Amino acid sequence: MKRRDFIRSAVPAAVVLPSLINGLTVRAFAHAPQIDGLSEAQIDTDKVWVLIQWNGGNDGLHTVVPIDQYDNLANARGGIILSENAILPLNGSTTVGLHPAMTGIQQLYDTGKICIVQGVSYPNPSFSHFRATDIVSTGTDSNISLNTGWVGRYLDHEFPNYPYGYPNADMPDPPAIQIGVGLPLLFQAPESNLAMSISSIDLFDQWTNGNIGTLPETPAGHELGYLRAIAQQTQQYAQRIVTASQNVTTQWSGYPSTGINALADQLKLIARLIAGGLKTRVYLVSIGGFDTHANQVSNTDPNTGQHANLLGKLSEAIFAFSSDLAFLGVGERVVGLTFSEFGRRIKANASWGTDHGTAFPMLLFGTQVQAGIVGNNPIIPAAATVSDNLAIQFDFRAVYASLLKDWFCLSETAVNSIMLNTFAALPVVQSPCCVPVVIGASNSCAGDIHTYSVAPSAGSTYIWTVTGGSILSGQGSNSITVQWDNGSEGIVSVTQSQ
Amino acid sequence: MEWHQHQFFIQNWQVAAANRDRCIEALRQHCENTAMSPLDPPSVSGWPAYYQEPLYYELLVNADVYSKRMELIEQLCQGGLSVATPYSSPSSHLLRINFVDFAQTLSNPSDPNALVEEALSRLYAYPVEQPFKDYLKTFLLSGQTADYYWTSAWGDFAANPSNSTYRAIVSARLQGMIQYMLSQSEYMLM
């Protein structure tokens, strides 16, 4: 039975009853109270994460190229191998190069804004796109299915009970925003999904201009317009987002023209939202088409073709975005992380392409990443066979865990509970990122009392040292009161430990 | 709403008979909160007529009602609508939409285009344009570029319906698509 037929046979009271959905069966489960999140205080931060997902499984060997093993790679890759002299060199490395299309990434690397993590995968990797995407989104072992995402668990830890009680004064904005393709699992928490989805930049433009989009030529076109207007009123975040974007009037001028590079268009909007004051922590954008089983390269020039076009767009978009963040003065607040569901085989196939593989290089970008390369070049056998895969060097969850700990400054206990296990931290972010900043008056008259504090972090103790004054109260906590002496200079310092 | 219509839905719930009334009552309360109380129109003359000035039938939806409906949709799709059932054990139920069950009632769920078309014809009263359909399909393909990615995932599940991993893969993608559909203004048109 069609829904409208069902409605026709019902009394008018049923007309817009969203809970009664023909064919959508509702199943009841015995209610198990969710495990309560850790009662750690929300960490006040202006740091932002931008995740770029490369859908399809990127060919890591033709992205971050092991030039010290070029001959073995050429042997395995046959006609699709990149020309040795076209591979882009990296400052300070004689063994690692980049695909010729990635000039923007090369420039960022050479100026200390890229961290490459080699050989990222997980034990018993899946070769299925959907399953592998779910694994990297949920952060689970490959033999376990989970229905929450690791970013969702992080945000749930920071913004418990979302969406109830939100937006509020501390968090007036959506915790996460994803633009483009709908990939819900990453932001899924036990009780809700913490990402606001902007299906396209067109929708954003509709909010900005207050229009309601094109209405279809159906008998209900007018009614749809009315409903969309109501929806805009109730979309509590739309106005915040529009205001943030309008706070920024000039952006870096080197972006490609709108409509040429969709990823660049989306990152340009994100740069505007970050600089415009949105408190959103995590953004997700994605670029598809990396499943290059066939025609990965052009059959006339292996340095061009499908894969080169994708890497070129990616590189151009990340370079423009990074330049814009610097232009807008917010580069220090942003770390970017790119990931794919898996890498590809060492050996090329017979269709000018490569098949599903395992480990892949992960690129992190931003002024606060620990620039350089973590890990070693993969080992390419002299005569690779179709079943040869790259060895795993780092678990993908170790990268996520390192970012949670060293970028978002979470305690180890919290990180372990979010990542569901313990992973050794990797040096992907510069170490001073989590050093506390003391806030308080910098001028005082003799005898005055002032308060000095650092952002609280649960489980931490704080040892304060004051010269030129005395601590009246608060030693051990994140906030002290100090009475200053009659000297010309006083110093407040604090050591935070867990 | 006629009570036998409620019964139509309740039949598919795995709820102990003793608890069904509570679940029905919970949904009835939500209807009341969204200005659609079953068997209880707002005035003795019934629902505001389409010719009633100045808003005509648009009176039936306002910002308050709209946001409550969105909240209910979020609950039914996400963590579940909790219903206390004190008469028997367990003491409460979570009502959630079963997305895989829904897809299994469609004629050709392995074809993402057919799935989108049929879900639209079930849930939407008026046709939508192609870009809207394309966007719905991106949930099923989760960023991949060809239809066979979904077809193969559905095929794995259909061949092994008791495999929880295969079920989780299709369920997560259907959940994204259906919650999106239910959250659009188009869904409120009847």
Choose the final residue of a domain: B79, B95, B111. Answer: B95
Task: Establish if B78 touches chain A: CB-CB under 8 angstroms.
Answer: yes
Q: Are residues A68 and A177 in the same domain?
A: yes
Q: Is the dihedral of CA B164, B165, B171, B176 positive or negative?
A: positive
Interface check for A33 against chain B (CB to CB < 8 A): the answer is no
Structural domain containing residue B58: 3-95
Structural domain count of chain B: 2
Q: Are residues B115 and B75 in the same domain?
A: no
Mean pLDDT across A77-105: 96
pLDDT band at residue A104 using 50, 70 and 90 as cut-offs: very high
**Residue A219 amino acid letter:** P
Q: Do A358 and A493 fall into the same domain? A: no
Strand A176-179 to strand A372-374: parallel, antiparallel, or no bridges (unpaired)?
A: unpaired
pLDDT recorded at residue A412: 85
Whether residues A122 and A80 fall in one domain: yes
- Which strands, in side-by-side order, build the sheet including B81-84? A26-30, B92-97, B81-84
* CATH code for position A353: 3.40.720
Residue A146 lies in a domain: yes
Specify which of A17-21, A178-182, A286-290, A334-338 reaches the highest per-range mean pLDDT: A334-338
CB A125 within 8 A of CB A142: yes
User: What residues of chain A lie within 8 A of the CB of B135, using their CB?
Assistant: 182, 199-200
Residue A456 banded pLDDT, cuts 50, 70, 90: confident
What's the mean pLDDT in A38-54?
71
pLDDT over 50 (residue A25): no
> Min CA distance, A361 vs chain B (Å)?
20
The contacts of residue A36 (CB under 8 Å, 6+ apart) are none
Summarize the confidence of residues A428-437 as an average pLDDT.
Answer: 74
Is B97–A24 a contact, with Cβ atoms under 8 angstroms apart? yes
Of the residues B40, B69, B95, which one is the last residue of a structural domain? B95
What's the average model confidence in pLDDT over A446-462?
80
* Gap between the Cα atoms of A32 and A25, Å rounded: 21
Q: What is the DSSP pairing of strand A114-121 with strand A394-395?
A: parallel
Which of A403, A434, A465 terminates a domain? The answer is A434
Q: How many residues are recorded in chain A?
A: 498
B20 phi, psi to nearest 5 deg: -60, -40
A352 and A226 fall within a common domain: yes
A424 vs B150, higher pLDDT:
B150
Higher pLDDT, A311 or B14: A311
Q: Which residues contact B167 (CB under 8 A, 6 or more apart)?
A: B100, B157, B161
A28 contacts B19? CB cut-off 8 A: yes
Domain presence at residue A42: no
Candidate from A132-146, A224-238, A360-374, B69-83 with smallest mean pLDDT: A224-238
The phi and psi torsions of B189 (rounded to 5 degrees) equal -75, 135
Among A188, A224, A231, beta carbon nearest to B66: A231
Between CA A231 and CA B189 the distance in angstroms is 13
Round to whole Å and give the CA distance between B172 and A147. 8
CB pairs under 8 A between A and B: 236
Structure-model confidence comparison of residues A14 and B13, the more confident one? B13
Q: CB-CB: which of A25, A188, A286 is closest to B98?
A: A25
Residue-wise pLDDT for A334-353, tens only, equals 999 999 999 999 999 999 99
Task: Tell me whether A165 touches chain B (CB under 8 Å).
Answer: no
Q: Residues of A458-478 as b/e, b for ≥16 C-beta within 10 angstroms? A: eebebebebebbeeeebeeeb
Q: Total structural domains in chain A?
A: 2
What is the structure's pLDDT at A62?
Answer: 97
Q: CA dist A148 to A104, A412, A420, B79, B96, Å?
A: 35, 20, 11, 11, 16
Residue A423 domain-assigned? yes
Task: Evaluate whether residue A9 is within a structural domain.
Answer: no
Give percent above pLDDT 90 in chain A: 57
* Single residue among B95, B116, B131 that ends a domain in this structure: B95
Interchain proximity A28–B93, CB inside 8 Å: yes
Confirm or reject contact between B17 and chain A (CB < 8 A): no
A404 and A458 belong to one structural domain:
no
Task: Yes or no: say if A387 and A372 are a contact pair by the CB < 8 Å rule.
Answer: no
Q: For chain A, say whether B44 makes contact (Cβ under 8 Å).
A: no
The residue of chain B nearest to residue A16, with distances taken between CA atoms, is B188
More confident residue, A357 or A200: A357
In a domain, A384, yes or no: yes
Q: Are B176 and A183 in contact (CB under 8 A)?
A: yes
* Residue A457 belongs to a domain: yes
> Are A266 and A195 within one domain?
yes
pLDDT at residue A195 tops 60: yes
Per-residue pLDDT tens over the stretch A268-303: 999 999 999 999 999 999 898 999 999 999 989 999
Alpha-carbon gap, residue A397 to A419, rounded angstroms:
7
Mean pLDDT throughout A246-274?
A: 94
Six-digit token string for A379:
């080992």
A5 pLDDT band (50/70/90 cuts)?
very low
Least confident of A54-68, A193-207, A273-287, A357-371: A193-207
Same domain, A371 and A463: no
Closest Cα of chain B to A312: distance in Å? Answer: 19
Measured distance CA(A409)–CA(A423) in Å, rounded: 15
Amino acid B15: pLDDT: 57
Question: In the predicted model, what is the mean pLDDT of chain A?
Answer: 84
Tell me if A234 and B101 make a contact (CB, 8 A cut-off).
no
Tokens of A315: 């590189």
A237 vs B contacts (CB less than 8 Å): none
Distance, in Å, from the CA atom of B154 to the CA atom of B160, rounded to the nearest integer, reads 10
Residue A87 and residue A120 share a domain: yes
Which residue did the predictor score with more confidence, B106 or A433?
B106
The domain boundary residue, chosen from A381, A402, A434? A434
- Determine whether the interchain pair B189/A55 forms a contact, defined as Cβ–Cβ distance below 8 Å: no
The alpha helices in A21-69, defined as continuous H runs, are none
Which amino acid does the sequence have at A448?
D
Give the separation between CA A391 and CA A412, rounded to whole angstroms: 28
Q: Predicted confidence band at A22 (pLDDT cuts at 50, 70, 90)?
A: very low
Are A197 and B180 in contact (CB < 8 Å)? Answer: yes
A449 shares contact with chain B (CB less than 8 Å): no
DSSP-derived secondary structure for B86-137: TTSSSSEEEEEE-HHHHHHTSS-TTSHHHHHHHHHHHH-SS---HHHHHHHH
Looking at the predicted structure, is the pLDDT value of residue A6 above 60? no
Q: Kindly list the residues from chain B whose CB atom is less than 8 angstroms away from the CB atom of residue A26.
A: 9, 12-13, 76, 95-98
Question: Is B68 in a helix, a strand, or coil?
Answer: helix
**Residue of A446 and A264 predicted with greater confidence:** A264
Using an 8 Å CB-CB cutoff, list chain B residues near A33.
none
* Interface membership of B138 toward A (CB under 8 Å): yes
Residue A230 sits at the vertex; the CA angle it makes with A225 and A236, to the nearest 5 degrees, is: 135
- Taking chain B, what is the end-to-end CA distance rounded to the nearest angstrom? 15
Closest CA to A103 of A95, A111, A92: A111
* Stronger pLDDT, A420 or A228, i.e. the higher one: A420
Does one domain contain both A118 and A220? yes
The mean pLDDT of A69-80, rounded to a whole number, is: 95
Specify if A17 maps to a domain.
Answer: no
Top-confidence residue, A496 or A465: A465
Of the candidates B93, B105, B143, the beta carbon closest to that of A23 is on B105
More confidently predicted of A229 and A445: A445
With contact defined as beta carbons under 8 Å apart, do B159 and B83 qualify?
no
Domain extent, residue A470, equals 449-497
C-alpha span between A335 and A333 (Å, rounded): 7
DSSP calls for A242-294: HHHHHT-----TTSPPTTT-HHHHHHHHHHHHHHTT----EEEEEE-----SS
Q: Does A435 touch chain B (CB under 8 A)?
A: no
B17 and B61 in a single domain? The answer is yes
Nearest CA in chain B to A233: B63
CA dist., res. A357 & res. A125, Å (int): 9
Domain presence at residue A442: no
The confidence score (pLDDT) of residue B5 equals 32
- The A residues from 184 to 203 touching B (CB cutoff 8 Å) are 184-185, 188, 190-193, 197, 199-200
pLDDT band at A41 (very low <50, low <70, confident <90, very high): very low
Q: At which of A410, A434, A458 does a domain end?
A: A434
Do both A101 and A199 map to the same domain?
yes
CA nearest to B146 within chain A: A289
Non-local (6+) Cβ contacts of A222 within 8 A are A215
Residue A459 sits at φ, ψ, to 5 deg, of: 85, 0
Same domain, A402 and A461: no
A320/A467 same-domain check = no
Residue matched to tokens 């050794």: A424
pLDDT given for residue A33 in this prediction: 26
Query: Which has the closest alpha carbon to A117: A432, A429, A325, A405?
Result: A429
- Residues in chain B closer than 8 A to A145 (CB atoms): 164-165, 168
Residue A474 confidence (pLDDT): 93
Mean pLDDT by 10 residues, chain B (190 residues): 34 56 75 69 61 56 74 79 66 76 91 95 85 90 90 96 92 90 80
Say how far apart CA B123 and CA B188 lie, in whole Å: 10
Report the residue from B41, B126, B149 with minimal CB separation from A218.
B126
Question: Do B86 and B150 sit in the same domain of this protein?
Answer: no
